[in-house]
């Protein structure tokens, strides 16, 4: 398989065939994100992608899922995507699910009917970053779009019948903006109503703009207790109908896995116990991205 630079994928795609169709991220401006800083955005040569699909058809017959890399494969024109999905379906007919990352900018270029076309050809899950539901925070971290625009893109995905996994970042509002970030993020998640929410806790990445702001004292990271309080407010304002609220990423101090609405109160109680010091938290040295 032909890969340019480091390849990242969600933990749930560990056993998937990773097909890199674009490199980097077409936005690539978020101040907290370092994943594609050293990789210019580009669309990969169709011949190379087709060779990868042929390779997978011979050597990956035991794998049942495909994940399209890098940051936003949906930025490809619809005709190219249809042709790509056709090639995957013809050569890997045993595949049960195609997934991809997609930022709001690339979803905004698709209509619901175009997303439905992709769903019919196997696109089953999209991983999208909301990061915050607070417009001030989104603007400060240079995310593409405001909360209303990002929510709208998420709703298009679910309307098309494609599962949506939305990530948000605890601590992204800094200390001063913590509670408003938490409350507005919960409200935005409720409006979007994805099947899955994944909460990460902010960890600065070297050579990012946010890391420089932290080093200059312009942005405050939250303490573990402040992070838990923020998480509590976020969950309190999140209503999924139904959906999973995960905070089990390695960056988090308190691993959580809740099915909402069923587990909401139980999970809030667990966070309260952790705030009171009654639950062991992940030590700083074990946290990671």
Query: Is the CB of 129 or the CB of 198 nearer to ligand SF4?
Result: 129
| Cβ 87 to ligand SF4 shortest distance, Å | 25
- The whole-angstrom separation of Cα 179 and Cα 220 is 14
| Cβ 112 to ligand SF4 shortest distance, Å | 21
Query: Is the CB of 131 or the CB of 232 nearer to ligand SF4?
Result: 131
Contact 43, 22 (CB under 8 A): yes
Q: How many CB atoms lie within 10 A of CB 27?
A: 20
Nearest CA to 131 among 70, 71, 193, 188? 188
Query: Is the CB of 25 or the CB of 260 nearer to ligand SF4?
Result: 25
| Cβ 29 to ligand SF4 shortest distance, Å | 6
| Cβ 72 to ligand SF4 shortest distance, Å | 7
Nearest CA to 170 among 134, 222, 218, 104? 222
Query: Is the CB of 13 or the CB of 274 nearer to ligand SF4?
Result: 13
Phi first, then psi, for residue 67 (nearest 5°) are -125, 130
| Cβ 205 to ligand SF4 shortest distance, Å | 10
| Cβ 195 to ligand SF4 shortest distance, Å | 20
Query: Is the CB of 60 or the CB of 219 nearer to ligand SF4?
Result: 219
252 DSSP 8-state letter: -
Phi first, then psi, for residue 155 (nearest 5°) are -65, -35
- The whole-angstrom separation of Cα 6 and Cα 150 is 27
Residues near ligand SF4, by CB under 6 A:
25, 27-30, 33, 35-36, 71, 103, 129
Contact 129, 94 (CB under 8 A): no
Query: Is the CB of 103 or the CB of 132 nearer to ligand SF4?
Result: 103
- The whole-angstrom separation of Cα 166 and Cα 82 is 24
Q: Count Cα neighbours of 242 within 13 Å in the Cβ-side half-sphere.
A: 8
């Amino acid at each position: 398989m032909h890969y340019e630079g480091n390849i990242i994928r969600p933990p749930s795609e560990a056993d998937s065939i990773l097909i890199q169709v674009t490199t980097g991220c077409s936005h690539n401006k978020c101040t907290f994100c370092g994943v594609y800083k050293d990789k210019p955005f580009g669309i990969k040569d169709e011949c190379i992608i087709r060779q990868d699909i042929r390779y997978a058809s011979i050597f990956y017959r035991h794998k049942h899922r495909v994940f399209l890399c890098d940051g936003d494969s949906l930025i490809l024109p619809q005709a190219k995507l249809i042709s790509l999905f056709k090639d995957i379906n013809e050569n890997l007919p045993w595949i049960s699910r195609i997934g991809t990352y997609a930022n709001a900018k690339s979803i905004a270029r698709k209509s619901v009917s175009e997303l439905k076309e992709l769903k019919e050809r196997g696109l089953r899950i999209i991983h999208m970053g909301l990061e915050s539901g607070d417009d001030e925070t989104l603007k400060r971290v240079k995310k593409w779009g405001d909360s209303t625009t990002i929510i709208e893109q998420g709703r298009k995905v679910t309307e098309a019948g494609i599962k949506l996994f939305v990530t948000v970042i605890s601590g992204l509002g800094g200390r001063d903006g913590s509670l408003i970030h938490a409350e507005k993020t919960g409200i935005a998640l409720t409006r979007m109503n994805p099947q899955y929410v994944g909460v990460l806790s902010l960890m600065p990445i070297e050579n990012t703009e946010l890391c420089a702001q932290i080093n200059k004292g312009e942005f405050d990271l939250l303490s573990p207790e402040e992070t838990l309080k923020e998480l509590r407010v976020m969950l309190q304002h999140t209503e999924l109908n139904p959906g999973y609220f995960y905070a089990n990423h390695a960056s988090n101090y308190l691993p959580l896995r809740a099915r909402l609405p069923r587990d909401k109160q139980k999970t809030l109680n667990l966070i309260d116990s952790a705030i009171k010091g009654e639950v062991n938290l992940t030590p700083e040295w074990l946290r990671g991205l």
